[in-house]
Structure formats: structure tokens, C-alpha cells
Amino acid sequence: MKKFFILFLLFTIHYSLSTAVNAGDIPTKPKPAATPEMLAKGKTIYFKRCSFCHGLIGDGNGPAADFMDPRPRDFTIGTFKFRTTASGELPTDEDLFKTISRGLSGTGMQAFDIDKIKNGLTEEERWQVIYYIKTFAPEFSNKELDPYKSIVKPSSSNIPFSKESVEKGKVIFEKTKCWECHGKGGKGDGVKEERKDDWGFPIRIRNVTQPWKIKAGSESEDIFMRFSTGINGTPMPSFIDSLKEEERWHLANFIKSLQYKPNDQSVLKAKQIKGDIPMDFENPVWAKSEVIDIRLAGQVIAAPRWQNPSIDMVTVRAVYNEKEIGFLLEWDDPFKDVIHNESLEFDPKDISSAGAYNSYVDPNKMAHRKLETFRDSIALQFPIKMPEGTKRPHFFRGDAGNPINIWLWKADMDVSGKTAVEENIGTGFKQPLKVQDAKEQQVVAKSLWNGGRWKVIIKRPILTPDKNDTQFEKGKFIPFSLNAWDGSNGEHNLLMSLSTWNYVILETSTPATVWLWSLFGIIGMAGVEIWIVRRIKKP
Amino acid sequence: MGSKFKQGTFWSTVITLIIIYGIVKFAIPFISRKITGMPFPLPVPSTLILFYMVLTIAALFLYTTFSEERLEGFKRPVIDFIKGSYGMLPRNIVLGVLPFVVGWQVYDVTSPKVIPPTSIRIQHPSSNFPKKMEDLKSPIENPSQDAINTFIEQAKANAVEFIPQLKADIERWKKTNPDNHILGFIPTEPIDKFLKEIKAGNVTMEAAKSALHEKNLFEGRALYAMNCRPCHGDSAAGDGPMADGFKLRPINFTDNGTIETIVEGYTFWRVSTGGLGLPPEATPWDSAMPVWNLNLTEEERWKIIMAEYDLAQKTPRIPEKH
């Protein structure tokens, strides 16, 4: 019995240790031989798990491919973006192993490592499918193109992240003109004109400040490797000849320093301020207020469905005074889109019926993803009636019995000096929004676009006489959610990103009774102490 | 021996309290995390902690007051401390600070906190689940004789019909494999067997049924990849590219206690009527689940469900006999 217990203990310790180590990206066992049996098994795995995106013949044209951006990789032409080999070369088997194991962040390619996902692929299964994938491109059987001849290996380990290293990296960023494409702040806002990659699809320059979307990993080592190998098929070059290894490490550290870490606040706390709601972005009141980062997803709830949203996070602040409440919304958007062409809007009728080909929108064929086509826009949404308990309108524009109040801001209106923000009523996503009467419009907005980022302040009186308005009562948890549109990403109407419900609360000062109770506590305890001390002193 | 014990009563009481508190507060959540293997601990509710501590204090009180000797042993260091035997400075600091600690605790308990209302959500509500759907059988999982016969005819003529969404990809495969049978791209055993039987001219019902199953599964997987994957993920683990955007995360079908605890009629109902079809106890306003009867045919929905169970390596619950 005792022996059994010890065995159990050892097993538990072993198990907890083995799960703590993040294995998987690098094979733990030697690579097995590519036998015909391995290939046959790889073919079955490919058919079951990969073919729907990458296509039955590996050309990247599977039935799900048309609705994704970036599109699945075409395996037939032997061009692979993420490698540890010199620019233009094929990837090593280990490179493919890494991609399959951990996936590519921000794309449809997810991790397949069985340590991360219950029904993922074992190490052996990953090798099998890699051997099969390599049969699609004739380049892999060409001995002259052997990728193992051109492996890029740093001669030393990384330079640790430090202020000095970041400073040096910044100088290199300027000197190497990374900003020409990636923008001064790294938000991917450097090049305006449309360019196409080797596969013929529009290039979207990486916003390096959002680590959750950096495809092949956001650690310094990953970033270093991209500088050293380039990204095949795109204008991203290799800097292996133009920058010394040390310089590439400093640059990687600088890029790392630009990465934004979203906070995990669950409630937006609006602080009470004295004086007016600041309508300027530099005002220290905003810097001092609390921040909440809200994640957004593509609108995939109803046709037309959109799984390529550009805006996936909005940073929100709020303050209020006795009369008004103001929200500051900030989000990354590389281009300032202030034109709206209604005639180019998508007609949802084509794909909204049952049995239609698909209810998702093809980003490359159906949507006009061009500059100067659609406006940038954002909206704040609240329930009109404050919920009883936790009951709320549906987060997707409410429903007939539970309408929502939505403040819709439009960039094109703002720059042309018209009313930029309007109060609307929503009764479900099937109904168009209803603009409230002119006399019931009380929202005011101010906006600024700078260096790939929008900032918009929207304010409104906390209480209004209008029965179709949300009333902001102090101390109440008021649900709010967001809708966002990036015009040059083809977004308009229901092609948008949206968030589910979050809470905003107008913080009140601590009630006097709390202080009174605390005072009683202090006095009471002191009294008890005095009584004890006196008793002890008595003989 | 006796005097040694006396000295220790106060401290052993204090240490016991600390150890019990440590176990309840930290050790239980830690062990629970190791046992469940989940990335988060199961915390002990504060009321339960209070309950355990009151019990512990009661037990310790009984223990120390059991004999005069022990009570003395407990009281002595306290009285000595208050008298100043251990130095006046520590005594004054403790006596000075203690009222404020109490005051702070009172403040902590009475001051309003920003805790958003939480809702208890029932994941598998049945209040508005139509009873007649309980025994619903998947027409794809249980094909009619007619359906199998049609499939055999199509296969014999090398002209199997696929859903329109897949035609283009299969066409391209056919172009590079002109001599192969139209079902030849499915590299599984039942299809191999079926194709061999066709070649030999002796098709069995069993083989045809299994092959039709493979074909439907293929279509279901493709429909899943197109429609469900953005949220539920390509491994059905609730981790699709859109998943982080929803506070109520898409369900992880590979978890025990999700799709294997319900009958397939229920799954069909959930897929068809979506989040909006849920009763209030399942917080429909937080659910991003689409109403798929608007955009997918009944057959498409059944094929997806078949593929979903297969991908998650689960089987639906069998309806109870009435």
C-alpha cells in the first residue's frame, strides 16, 4: 500500500513537471525516416485536417480558403514565409514542424501540437504530414535546393532586453528605414499604395505593436529570425548582409519594446472629475483615468459574415462630472479613411438565404478593400432600459423587446465638419439603425488620427429627458459594447468587428457611514485594550 | 517536560491556526489544480474558509481550556506581553496598531466594491427544448435505403454528387488525377473497400453504407471548416481565430461534459436556433452562436454535427427509452 502511494506521488510529480515545460515547437525525438507508410499516413492526416483550407491538391484553394485573409499557403510553388534558412530558400523540416506545432498567430492556421490541443497531432503524426506536404512542391526533391545548406544560425545567443539595447535598436530602426513600410511607430502605416505579394494578394504591412498578431512568434528570437531570413514572397527582405548580428538583436529588442500588453480589467471605472469633460487628447485628466482594453471579433453571427476584421482591440477610458460623461476610444488603424462611397457597399441579399453557397464574405472578391472607398467608424452601444438582474438586450444590436442606444461616429462626417456622431436606436441586427430626432441628439464628438491610431472622444449628458436614451446613474453597472469599422479593410454595415457586453460604472465617493463604522471599530478596539490592560495591572 | 509544554501552548495554538489557514487557502486550491489538470485552481469559497476557521478556533479553545495548566500556558505569554515583560516598545506598537487594523478591516467589509453582477448560466437548458426533438435521429448518420441506392448508382457511374461548396476543389483534384475514381481522393479504408467492390461488380450494402458515411463526413468536415471553425477552431477546441473576442467563449467540444452529454437531437436544435433560441437561464444575450437555420440547410447542419462529433472524438448521448 505504501509503495503504491509513493509510486502515485512520483507519478503526480512527474506529470506536473512534464506539463509545466512548454515543449512541442521543437521535436523531442530524432526525425523518423520518410517511408512510404509514413507518407500514406500523412496523406490521411492531410485529408482529414488540412485539405479544407489548403486544398485537396495542396494549392491553397480548399473550400474554406476564399473567406480567409491571409489565405492558406499554396504548397505547390515551394515558397514559404517562415524559415530559418536564407532569403528565397526552402524551409527545413524543423521549420515546418514549428509552424504546424504552434500555428501562426492572428491567422486561420492554429496550433496542432497535441500537448496544447486534446485532439492535436502527435510528434510522429506531424512528421508524417510534413513529409506528405513536401510532395506537393517539386523543389523539395531537388538536391540542389537543399535547405539545410543555407541555415541561418546566430553565432551567439540573444542580447538580453535592456534599455541600452532598445536605444541602439531604435537608431537602427531609423537608419535601416524600417519605418518606410512599418511606419514611425511600427503600426504598419508606412506605405499607402497597394502592393501585391508573390501569390497575387494584397500586402498588409504588419503592425508590430500587436504581438498577438505576429504570425511566427513575438519573442526576440522569432523577430531576430525574421530580420535574418526575410519573409519569402513579400517585400520583407533579409538583413543578414546589411546588419551585423548584434545589430539585429538590438533591433529585435526595440521591436519587442513596442509591443502592447493589453490589460485584463473587466469593468470600466469612470472617475468623477471637477470641471468640464476634456475634449483635447493631451489633457492629463485622460492620462490619469482608468483604462480597459476591449477585445473585438469579426461579425460572424449573421450573414453577411466577416472573419477578417482589422480592429480587434479598442482601448477605452471614461470620466464624468455632475452633468456629463465622456468616453475616450483609441484603436490602431494604419489608414485614415474619410470617404464613403455608398454605391460600392456590399449587397447582403446574395448570401443571406439558406443553401446559398456560403454566408461568409470573400475578402478578396466581394469586399472593396481599398483606400478612399469606405469610412472609418466606431460605435458605443448601451441598453436603453437598465437590466433587471443580469438580463440584457443581445449584444448584437439588441432585439425588438430590448432595444439599445448606439452612438455612431463616422470619420467622413467629422472631417467635413458635419455632425460626426449620432444617437441611434437598434432593435436587432435585422433592422437598420434608427436615427433619433434632431432635438434628441445630445452626443458630441472630437477625433484625431495620428501615426496609425484613431482617438475619439464622445460625450453626452449623464441624464436626459428622452425615454429612448440610456441614463447613466451613479454606482450602477451599465453594460456597454462596441462596433468598429476599418474602411480601407472593406468594412461597412454588418461587415465589422464587435465586442460582447462589458460594464462601465460611474464611481461614487465612499459613503460617510463607512467612515463612521470604521471609526467605531477603532474606538471599540482601543476600549477593549484599555479594559484588558487595566485588569492585568490590578493585582 | 511539563514546563516545556506550558511554554509552547500559546505558540502552538497560533501555529496551528496559521497552518490550517494555509491549507484551506492555498494547499487545497493547489492540489485541486494538480488533480483536475486544469490551468486554474478551484478556490475555497470565503464562507467555507470562515466555517473551517471557526471550527478550528472552537477546537483549539476546547483544547486549551481543557485543563487549568494549559489555559495558564496559553494566557501567560499574552499577559507577560501586555505587562511589558518582552519590552515596552513592541507592546506599545502592537497596542497602538491593533485598533487601526480593526478599523481597516471594518472599512474593507463595509466600503462598496466594484464587483460586476455575475450570472449563473445553465449550459444545457431544457425548458424550451421541444420534447419531440429528443428522439430525433440524424438522417445522415442513418441513411435511408433509397439514399444508399442512389449513392451506389452514382458511384458506379463515377458521378458522385457533392455539395456545391466542394465542387471546385474536387474538380481541380480530378484534373490532376484523371484516371482515378471520383471518390479516390478520400484515402480511407471504407472507400478503398467500396471502390474495389465496384470494380469487381459485387457491391455489398454494408460497404456502400460505410463509404457513404465517409463521403458525408468529408462534406461535414468541409462545412465545419467553412462555417464553425472561425470560433470553435479547427480542432473543435473552442479556440478559433475569433474566440478571444467573445467574453462567453465558444464551447470546447473536446471537453468532457459538452457535446457527449446531450442527444444529437439537442445538438441539432442548438445549431439550428443558436444563441437567440436559448431560454433566459442560459443568458442568450451573451451568446454569439448564430441561428444556423437561416443560412444552412437541414442536411448541411446534420453533416456538420456528424463531423463535429468525429473531430472532437465524442459520441452523442443515446436518448432514453420511454
CATH number for A106: 1.10.760.10
B34 has pLDDT over 60: yes
Residue A288 · residue A281 · CB < 8 Å: no
> What angle (nearest 5°) sits at the alpha carbon of residue A172, between those of residues A171 and A175?
90
Answer yes or no: do B244 and B186 share one domain. yes
Residues of chain A neighbouring B170 (CB-CB closer than 8 A): 56
Mean pLDDT estimate for chain B: 90
Can you give the pLDDT at residue A3?
A: 53
Residues of chain A neighbouring B117 (CB-CB closer than 8 A): 389-390, 477
Determine the Cα–Cα distance for residues B308 and B322; give it in Å rounded to an integer: 28
Answer yes or no: do A322 and A444 share one domain. yes
Q: How confident is the model at residue A12 (pLDDT cuts 50, 70, 90)?
A: very low
In terms of residue numbers, what domain contains A117? Answer: 24-150
Residues of chain B neighbouring A49 (CB-CB closer than 8 A): 234
A6 has pLDDT over 70: no
Mean pLDDT estimate for chain A: 91
Judged by a CB distance cut-off of 8 A, whether residue B230 touches chain A is yes
Q: Do the chains contact at B245 and A296, CB–CB below 8 Å?
A: yes
Answer yes or no: do B151 and B103 share one domain. no
Question: Domain end: A126, A150, A174, which one?
Answer: A150
Minimal Cβ distance to A391: which of B105, B239, B280? B280
Q: Please tell me which residue of chain A has the smallest CA distance to B91.
A: A533
pLDDT in tens, B169-179: 999 999 999 99
Number of domains in chain B: 2
Is A396 a member of any domain? yes
Can you give the pLDDT at residue A16?
A: 44
Shortest CA gap A436–chain B (Å):
24
Q: Do the chains contact at A525 and B102, CB–CB below 8 Å?
A: yes
Can you give the pLDDT at residue B67?
A: 87
Residue with the bigger pLDDT between A307 and B72: it is: A307
Is B196 exposed, middle or buried (CB count within 10 Å of its CB: 0-12, 13-18, 19+)? exposed
pLDDT in tens, A116-173: 888 999 999 999 999 999 999 999 999 999 999 999 998 888 899 999 999 999 999 9
How many CB contacts within 8 angstroms connect chain A with chain B? 228
Answer yes or no: do A145 and A222 share one domain. no
Residue A442 · residue A456 · CB < 8 Å: no
**Test the B interface: residue of A300, A502, A510 with most B CBs within 10 Å:** A300
Least confident of A354-358, A459-463, B282-286: A354-358
Is A38 a member of any domain? yes
Question: Domain end: A258, A293, A326, which one?
Answer: A258
Residues of chain A neighbouring B276 (CB-CB closer than 8 A): 394, 399
Q: Do the chains contact at B246 and A500, CB–CB below 8 Å?
A: yes
pLDDT in tens, B3-32: 444 457 888 899 999 999 999 888 888 888
Answer yes or no: do A240 and A124 share one domain. no
Minimal Cβ distance to A63: which of B226, B242, B284? B226
Q: How confident is the model at residue A489 (pLDDT cuts 50, 70, 90)?
A: very high
Least confident of A177-191, A483-497, B99-113: B99-113
* Mean pLDDT value of segment A437-458: 95
Q: Do the chains contact at A402 and B285, CB–CB below 8 Å?
A: yes
Answer yes or no: do A34 and A174 share one domain. no
Answer yes or no: do A57 and A194 share one domain. no
Is B223 a member of any domain? yes
Q: Please tell me which residue of chain A has the smallest CA distance to B274.
A: A301
SS3 A269: strand
Q: Please tell me which residue of chain B has the smallest CA distance to A306.
A: B230
**Among candidates B321, B311, B122, which has minimal Cα distance to B225?**
B311
Answer yes or no: do A232 and A319 share one domain. no
Q: How confident is the model at residue A460 (pLDDT cuts 50, 70, 90)?
A: very high
Answer yes or no: do A484 and A523 share one domain. no
Answer yes or no: do B275 and B304 share one domain. yes
DSSP A440-456: G---EEEEEEETTEEEE
Q: Do the chains contact at B226 and A358, CB–CB below 8 Å?
A: yes
A19 has pLDDT over 50: no
Is A221 a member of any domain? yes
Q: Do the chains contact at B107 and A520, CB–CB below 8 Å?
A: no
Percent of chain A with pLDDT over 90: 80
pLDDT in tens, A363-412: 988 889 999 999 999 999 999 998 777 789 999 999 988 999 999 999 99
Is B158 a member of any domain? yes
Is A360 a member of any domain? no
Can you give the pLDDT at residue B7?
A: 53
Can you give the pLDDT at residue B97?
A: 94
Percent of chain B with pLDDT over 70: 97
Answer yes or no: do B81 and B142 share one domain. no
pLDDT in tens, B242-264: 999 999 999 999 988 889 989 99
Answer yes or no: do B97 and B188 share one domain. no
**Test the A interface: residue of B85, B92, B106, B166 with most A CBs within 10 Å:** B106
Q: Do the chains contact at B169 and A302, CB–CB below 8 Å?
A: no
Q: 0.90 cut: is pTM over it?
A: no
- Return contacts of A199-202, CB within 8 angstroms, 24+ apart: A199/A60, A199/A71, A199/A74, A199/A79, A199/A233, A201/A69, A201/A70, A201/A71, A201/A364, A202/A364, A202/A369
**Test the B interface: residue of A210, A516, A525, A538 with most B CBs within 10 Å:** A525
Q: Please tell me which residue of chain A has the smallest CA distance to B309.
A: A119
Is A260 exposed, middle or buried (CB count within 10 Å of its CB: 0-12, 13-18, 19+)? middle
Q: Do the chains contact at B247 and A510, CB–CB below 8 Å?
A: no
Residue B231 · residue B246 · CB < 8 Å: yes
B207 has pLDDT over 80: yes
Can you give the pLDDT at residue B322?
A: 61
Determine the Cα–Cα distance for residues B256 and B301; give it in Å rounded to an integer: 22
* Mean pLDDT value of segment A318-344: 96
pLDDT in tens, A201-243: 889 999 999 999 999 999 999 999 999 999 999 999 999 999 9
**Test the B interface: residue of A16, A19, A118 with most B CBs within 10 Å:** A118
Answer yes or no: do A181 and A306 share one domain. no
Determine the Cα–Cα distance for residues A460 and A67; give it in Å rounded to an integer: 39
**Test the B interface: residue of A19, A50, A51, A52 with most B CBs within 10 Å:** A52
Q: Please tell me which residue of chain B has the smallest CA distance to A538.
A: B83
Determine the Cα–Cα distance for residues B313 and A114; give it in Å rounded to an integer: 14
In terms of residue numbers, what domain contains B64? Answer: 2-110
